[in-house]
Chains A and B, each alone.
Chain A
Amino acid sequence: MTPAAAPPAAPPAAPPLAPSSAIALEKVEKRYPDGTLANSGVSFAVAAGETHALVGENGAGKSTVMKMLYGLERPTAGILRVHGRPVDFRHPGDAIAAGIGLVAQHLNLVASLTVAENVVLGHEPRRPGGRLDRVAAAARVRELVEQSGLAVDPTATVASLPVGVRQRVEILKVLHRGARILLLDEPTAVLTPPETATLFATLRQLAAAGRTVLVITHKLDEVKALAGGVTVLCQGRVTGSARMAELDEGALSHLMVGRELSPPAPRRVAGARPAPRIVARGLGYVDDDGAIRLRDVGFDVAPGEILGIAGVEGNGQDVLARLLSGAAIPSAGDARLDGRVFTGLSPRAARALGVAVVTEDRLHDGAAPTLSILDNLLATRYAHPPLSRRGLIDRRTARRWAQAVIDGFGVRAAGPYQPMGALSGGNMQKLILAREIADAPAFLVASQPTRGVDIAAAAALHTRLAALRDQGAAILLISADLDELLALSDRIGVLYRGRIVARFEAGAVDAQTLGLHMTGLGPRRERGDHDAVA
């Protein structure tokens, strides 16, 4: 598509393109009421029509910059300029009026409404009497779909859509308002490689049509693939700003974390595999709506082995993790640990048999943010000695253990009584893993163990997982991060629409091939019998 065919800006209020910077921050500071300093002296500029990457570790203050640019937060000092004019956004409505659109990290859609309703929300086509014009809304979405190449059905309910499609809806929403400046906060975190490629093509096309794009990412290759310029944030300050042409990946990585990080060398099981510890056969699950979420899933995991499960979110990984940890009852099949069935019981019973679980969404069901670190660590161990006897909890022993965990796992925390919610994602995840492996589980189900975690913490978590494996535990690693899967797994299975559609020895596959299978495009590779690759 040529720039001439770009969608017209809908609100006439969209400011004209100035030749200068589209966005400029001058010594911007954000201090939250509780005293936390999220940003300090942040200055950088993005030229109109440029695609600019904002990189940095978790907690570096990138999202805060985005929120200030979108009127969700107000800077406590400094000046924001849009097209050269200083702005003071009190409300996202102000930012929208200034031609700015945000595609947030946690997709901001109303699940029970349709795609069209979500896209037009806030700028709805109307009929007399304050009525919503649903026909015009759907037509507008079709028009936007045609212009942008982002395929979505306008009448579908958002709740029924996979994450990748929902993100397209977010982008359409931004385009509907005629945004000239797009802010994207980690847009690829939930996408498969092919979806990422589609997104990048769309972004390039939008940039070619004169739009300015500011994108937050963790991933260096994405910076290289997309951006013309890059700004690095570290602990709320800008530590570097450069044109991409001037940098190579190593230099950029160094800039980001202050040191080069190498993935842990996985120790593959040498020689003959021991007998499998985990044997799953024919696992199937039907949800309350009668939809088949998982069917005929079987696999073996040996002690000292990591089985990776790849797949696009929503293809059954969450269900598989719940079945294997006792949180859901399989509709068909079972799984055994050393010959004993551990599915279909309860989380407590599964844990008693030696199963541990790192859940996918740590804030939802992996931790209690309002309780202390100590109380969070206790959750899986409080019922047994040495932490309790005859129903009485030994608080002193518990506190000593919690302090030992904090020290041993390098968690940055004030002490065992600090609320869990006050910690960064990485530190929280370290504590969760520490809790789950404290009783030396025979089988660990780890779902997205490093999602949203900074690079250093992710490396530490990977080391712990490898150590657990070396102690002889069987591990099922479910991850959307293909690099992580490839680095840690001994074998990898791909889940697609609730089935394992492909199985690989980890050394014999690359991310591109996995990506094809994750989207159902790969040649069928599943062999009939389950221990074919075991």
Chain B
Amino acid sequence: MTPSREGARIALAVGAALALGFAIMACVSDQPWAALRALLTGPLPSIERAVDGRVVVHRLVRFGAWLQDATTLTLVGLAIAIPFRARQFSLGADGQLFMGALAAAVVSLGVGDVPAAIALPLAFLAAAAAGAAWGLVAGLLKTRFEANEIVTTLMLNVVAVQVYRLVVGRVLNDPTAGFITTPPLPDAATLAPLIARTTVTAMVLVAPAAVAAALFLLRRTTLGYEIDLAGANPWFAVRAGVPVARATVLAFALGGAFAGLAGFHVSNALLKRLPIDLTPGIGLEGIVVALLARGRVGALPLAALGYAYLRVGAQAMERATDVPREVVLVIQALIILFVVSDRLAPLALGLARRTGARVRARIGGRAA
């Protein structure tokens, strides 16, 4: 299918999911229209001209949250999309993110008093390495023991979250904080916001750079070719002399590295300290992003921006109205279902055409 038709199909699926989501909102809410408005305009800043003629930008925080969320989603989208090129269904972005965040925090707190030029790259690399290592485990379990990756990555997620809680709660705990968390990370190891009053940092530029790097790797390098071939037909790849197991493991590790960077984003740019109750689940959102991009790595940032918009809108909606943000889970699920249903659009169009023809026939019959 051509990219433009594919794009139209996805737009249709998202539209249908939103429509159904709205129907559900209308059922559970007294103020569905307000909720819809909040959902669809929440992430946008409002620009007003104040009485004295100055331009005032409101709600920049949410706009920042949108960009910031899209950054995370792009990175976890990569963590899903790259193993998928090797036809591996990794659901492990969550655990890899937690490990990446934890490693970044440990390094940031551990390096001591060093300049940012040393602390930042160290934490950055530690996060990528930890995520990659966690991905590597799933890859090795798959290639060495044929352990189903859906199961192992889900299990490794649970283990990673518990390791994270163990370390944050019992090793790095800051007793003065009043809640269970690490001490604040040193300034040298954290990223300053690019836009005032937001959490948008240089990571917003790292995400597209990561996508570009991944694209280059997949399209131009022999490793990328090996990953593609291992995914397209592993039996053939083996006979052709391609190191399939290595390519598969590396696909997991690469994906894990990007999820680890998402962890760095969370710890060193967003929160600047790690609370024990960091919510898991963002990894599953990576699936939605990868799906919306239809596995095209280049389309990931766009899909992430679109989906982050919806998520931030949902938060605005929950704050402004009586609709809980879980409605976005429903919309998310519907998007997944509609996007993967290849025969849905032709079926719906055919039905519409047939109904139209029947209506016309009836009208014509009456006229006759």
Contacts and interface: CB of A to CB of B under 8 A. Distances in A.
A174 to B, nearest CB: 32
A393 B222 contact: yes
A350 B239 CA distance: 10
A346 B229 CA distance: 18
Contacts of B241: 326, 346-348, 350-352, 379-380, 383
A351 B242 CA distance: 11
Counting chain A residues whose Cβ lies within 8 A of the other chain, the interface size class is: 20 to 34
B222 A369 contact: no
B158 to A, nearest CB: 33
B4 interface: no
B220 A369 contact: no
B236 A327 contact: no
Interface in A296-333: 325-327
Contact of B236 (A326, A366, A378, A388): A366
Given A375-B225, A393-B221, A395-B220, A368 B233 contact: yes
Contact of A391 (B222, B229, B233, B239): B222
A366 B233 CA distance: 9
B235 interface: yes
Interface string A329-355: 000000000000000001110111000
Contact of B235 (A326, A352, A364, A375): A364
B132 to A, nearest CB: 18
Given A347-B241, A371-B228, A379 B222 contact: no
A241 B284 CA distance: 61
Contacts of A367: 233, 236
A504 interface: no
Interface in A385-418: 388, 391-393, 395
A44 interface: no
A351 B237 CA distance: 13
A359 interface: yes
B239 A365 contact: yes
Nearest to A350: B241
B239 A375 contact: no
A378 B241 CA distance: 11
A359 B241 CA distance: 13
Contacts of B228: 371, 375
B61 interface: no
A365 B238 contact: yes
A97 B266 CA distance: 65
B122 interface: no
A347 B238 contact: yes
B243 interface: yes
A348 B242 CA distance: 7
Contacts of A365: 233, 235-236, 238-239
A200 interface: no
Nearest to B233: A368
Interface string A370-384: 110001001110110
A347 B238 CA distance: 7
Nearest to B223: A391
A377 to B, nearest CB: 11
Given A368-B233, A371-B232, A382-B225, A327 B220 contact: no
Contacts of B238: 327, 347, 365
A379 B229 contact: yes
Given A375-B225, A382-B225, A388-B222, A370 B239 contact: no
A359 B235 CA distance: 11
A368 B225 contact: no
Given A393-B222, A395-B220, A357 B239 contact: yes
B233 A347 contact: no
Interface in B286-318: none
23 contacts: A327-B239, A347-B240, A348-B241, A348-B243, A351-B240, A351-B241, A365-B233, A366-B236, A366-B239, A367-B236, A368-B233, A368-B236, A375-B229, A379-B237, A380-B241, A382-B222, A383-B222, A383-B241, A388-B222, A391-B223, A393-B221, A393-B222, A395-B219
Given A352-B241, A370-B232, A380-B240, 17 more contacts: A326-B241, A347-B239, A348-B241, A351-B241, A357-B239, A359-B236, A364-B236, A365-B239, A367-B233, A367-B236, A368-B233, A368-B237, A369-B233, A370-B233, A371-B228, A379-B242, A392-B221
Interface of B: 219-223, 225-226, 228-229, 232-233, 235-243
